[in-house]
A and B are shown apart, each in its own frame.
Chain A
Amino acid sequence: MLSCPAGALAAATMLAGLPAFASDTVRISGWGGSEVAIVNGLLTDVLAEKLAKEGITVKYEPVDGEFSQFIVNGLSAGTAPDLFYVDIFWARSVFSAGQALPVTQDVSGFAANLVEAFTYEGKVYAIPKDFNTLAVHFNKDIFDDAGVAYPSDGDTWKTLQEKLVAVHKALPEVDGLCLVPEYARFGAFALSTGWTPFDSWGKTMLDQRFRRAFDFYTGLVKSGAAVLAADAGQSWAGGCLASERAATAIEGAWIISALRDSAPNMNLGTVRMPKDPESGKRGNIVFTVGWTVNAASKVSKAAIKVAGLLTSEEAQQWVLEQGLALPSRTGLADNPWLRGDRPEQMTSRVIFEGLSDDHVMPYFFGKVGGSWMQPINAALNSVILGEADADTALASAQSALDRMLAN
């Protein structure tokens, strides 16, 4: 009866109590670039044994290009992977369409505001895998050459601005800060005043607190403290910092990998976002990505297991210690690696601290999505370029937001 070798092997496996050979194959997908190294590293160096024990084979499909479109197309066509990344920016559109399964009940180990970001109608639809907040990154050598004190955790908008102006005065070819006219950076300043993007009626009011932050941010270029990234020939602030055109940049920890390639010898410092001098509080924006399971997956149980393994403490510790991404587990906040003095360690520590700033909001804007930012970005842009005054620009932005949120 057991004359064929395969049959004999299967019987032996069952007798030995080992998992069946017919393993579940879980297709997983995330974006390309440096993420490929992270996921491949996890699958081969950290989790290979556990996956084998569970009888799960993982097929990894990284996507270069517009990942959200890839997923939306795949979900609508029934070809999406079993487990995939969701960015907080667009995750809700996948959850609300019933395309994701709740992934876990136990969220005790994860940062509360990251879990909240992925919670929809009381259920957690994605396990946060990592996150980022904003911080002030600066080139210590430029500050030394200018004879100006480094930015510090104690800085307010005003003291930081004074330092930036002083750098530009001492070294006219260098600007203090590299600026982008976008809510994705300006938002941290607006939030620090206590302003919230949506009030209790779901409307956006560009009130006096918003106006104070707006005037400060748009006034940075005119005061000689900052240069527009586009005017420095760059598409983002990290480019200005790498090219030493600007002494500081407000970005997340993603700047580390960019600087590693373009300015590996930079004497980098990182401090927390400056406080609003009036409220004395800090604001920040959280950018986070989670693993979610395709609701139509035929191997959803295995996919949930893989999601758990990919975000386990062991996996996140490995990711953290490679300096690749910030873990979403609070238990790793005291990891010895974060106390080191290397730039990536110092930056990661500050970014971690940003998660507990006074006013922190996820990079997410409800049903209207990224369109919500358009009027604010347009207002920032027109005032910084001198095409409109703040009153006109903000009145126009307010009426655009009112129209958008009227429905």
Chain B
Amino acid sequence: MARARSEERSGWLFILPFMVSMALFFVYAIVRTAYYSFTDFDLFKTPSFVGLSNYTALVSDELFLTALRNTIGFSLIVTTVQTALALALAVLVNHAVRARGPVRTVFYLPSIMSSAAMTLIFLWLFQRDGFMTAIVSIVLAYLRHILLFLVGVAAVQGALVLNARRRYEGVSIFDPFFLLVAAASALALVVACALAGLLPVFDNDLRISWLNTQQRFLFMPVTLWSVALMNVFTTVPTLMLLFLAGLQSIPNALYDAAEIDGANAFQRFRHITVPALRPVTFAVVTMGIIGTLQMFDQVAVLGDAAPLASRATLAYYVYENAFPAGASSRIGMASAAALVLGILTIAVVYVQKSVGVKERAE
């Protein structure tokens, strides 16, 4: 009995520092924020109660609604893409036979850069006549070359696989040796056609506004699509590491048994890897949702390089109200928006937990 009580006391002592910091920086902060959201506090005058007017002002503020739309769209896109890419990369890295260490290091490198530094690099890449525009420009200029190459690869690969399957079973449609031959043949075809003058090159002087634009693509401003690309690039490596750790905990015996039963690579991935990785996937998706809903630094570093409505996110909206350029702080509005952001984050995580990826492996 005494021993149990002593253990309990030790347990409380161990979690005490965490509880103190939680009480101070989370509970106290959230109570203060909730209180300020019902006042007209501007950091200086005594806060006076204004009821729900900050919340009604939020709903009628076009910038808030834009920020809300942008945030949800950004979160949806980035979480989906980064989870899929991280999983794919982890599988790839896990299977790397040669130079496994350097390969993992190279893939992880973008994660160790500060997001502010990465944003500055991307600002340069995303200039109207910068690197990203150059890539699009080259693709458009050599569109026919690229199309012919792709058609050539598909045709040669298809022919080789069909021919092989007539003689023996089990030839993969993505057989690597055939792919190599198909790529070489298609390349030779493209070069021959280009030399014969059959493939025109389209001259273009493209200037694409990646960041400094008010254009939208689908449900999100083009600027935020560019920021999403940036975000995926810097976040995927960390998530890849989580998946990699998860992959290495799956017993090889499962794969061996499935292989003996005749399961191909995709079937093994679909029926062993994905279900076994569910706890990791749940963590990755949850972290992704929280991180993307609260994305701030990248749009803050963008600054005037992009119009406000094209880059505003909820976290940025909170900051804009707390420290508006050239005007008095609107802490009441900032607090109301911060609470909305917090509640939205909890709600989305809860919804994902209920209907999305499950916590437990099958």
Contacts and interface: CB of A to CB of B under 8 A. Distances in A.
Contacts of A76: 43-44
Contacts of B109: none
A76 B62 CA distance: 29
B276 interface: no
Interface in A371-403: 371, 374, 377-378, 381-382, 385, 387-388, 400, 403
Contacts of B326: 89-90, 93, 364-365, 369-370
A89 B214 CA distance: 26
A148 interface: no
Contact of B127 (A233, A369, A374, A400): A233
Nearest to B320: A371
A303 B309 CA distance: 42
Interface stretch (A56-64, A96-104, A128-136, A241-249): A96-104
B200 interface: no
Contacts of B324: 369-371
A97 B309 CA distance: 29
Contacts of B135: none
Contacts of A381: 212, 214, 307
Given A72-B329, A93-B328, A387 B213 contact: yes
A182 interface: yes
Contact of A385 (B209, B308, B323): B209
Contact of B327 (A90, A231, A233, A385): A90
Task: Kindly name the residue among B45, B215, B328, B329 whose own CB sees the greatest number of chain A CB atoms within 10 A.
Answer: B328
Interface in B126-181: 127-130
B307 A68 contact: no
A369 B323 CA distance: 11
Contacts of B305: 230, 235
Task: Kindly name the residue among B207, B214, B325, B326 whose own CB sees the greatest number of chain A CB atoms within 10 A.
Answer: B326
A377 B307 CA distance: 8
A18 to B, nearest CB: 40
B297 interface: no
Given A377-B307, A381-B212, A371 B207 contact: no
Interface string B99-141: 0000000000000000000000000000111100000000000
A385 to B, nearest CB: 6
Interface string A12-43: 00000000000000000000000000000000
Interface residues of B, number: 27
B304 A182 contact: yes
Contacts of A75: 43-44
Interface string A202-245: 00000000000000000000000000101101010000000000
A93 B209 CA distance: 35
Contacts of A367: 327-328
A4 interface: no
Nearest to B307: A378
Contacts of A371: 324-325, 327
A17 to B, nearest CB: 42
Nearest to B306: A381
Contacts of A228: 128
Given A69-B323, A230-B128, A374-B308, A97 B328 contact: yes
A369 B62 CA distance: 17
A368 interface: yes
A279 B321 CA distance: 39
Contacts of A368: 327
Nearest to A400: B62
A93 B328 CA distance: 5
B245 to A, nearest CB: 38
Nearest to B129: A231
B223 to A, nearest CB: 11
Interface residues of A, number: 36
A89 B325 contact: yes
A68 B322 CA distance: 12
B48 to A, nearest CB: 15
A381 B215 CA distance: 11
Task: Kindly name the residue among B304, B309, B329 whose own CB sees the greatest number of chain A CB atoms within 10 A.
Answer: B304
Interface in B296-319: 304-305, 307-309
Nearest to B57: A407
Nearest to A370: B325
A235 B301 CA distance: 13
B328 A96 contact: yes
Contact of A98 (B44, B130, B207): B44
Contacts of A387: 209, 213-215
A377 B306 CA distance: 10
A235 B307 CA distance: 14
Nearest to A98: B44
Contacts of B308: 374, 378
Contacts of A382: 214
B213 A385 contact: yes
B334 to A, nearest CB: 13
Contacts of A385: 209, 212-213
Interface in B171-228: 207, 209, 212-215
Interface string B46-89: 00000000000000001000000000000000000000000000
A367 B305 CA distance: 24
Contact of A93 (B127, B129, B207, B327): B327
A370 B327 contact: yes
A93 B43 CA distance: 11
A387 B222 CA distance: 13
A97 B44 contact: yes
A174 B319 CA distance: 40
Nearest to B41: A76
Given A76-B43, A230-B212, A68 B323 contact: yes
B44 A378 contact: no
Contacts of B62: 400, 403
Contacts of B304: 182, 377
Contacts of A96: 328
A285 B127 CA distance: 29
Nearest to A90: B326
Contact of B207 (A69, A231, A374): A231
26 contacts: A72-B323, A89-B326, A90-B325, A93-B326, A93-B328, A97-B43, A97-B44, A98-B44, A231-B129, A233-B129, A235-B305, A364-B326, A365-B326, A369-B325, A369-B328, A371-B324, A371-B327, A377-B304, A378-B214, A381-B307, A385-B209, A385-B212, A385-B213, A387-B213, A388-B214, A400-B62
Given A230-B212, A365-B326, A374-B307, 6 more contacts: A72-B323, A228-B128, A231-B127, A233-B127, A400-B62, A403-B62
6 smallest beta-carbon distances between A and B, as pairs? A369-B327, A369-B326, A370-B325, A97-B44, A76-B43, A93-B328
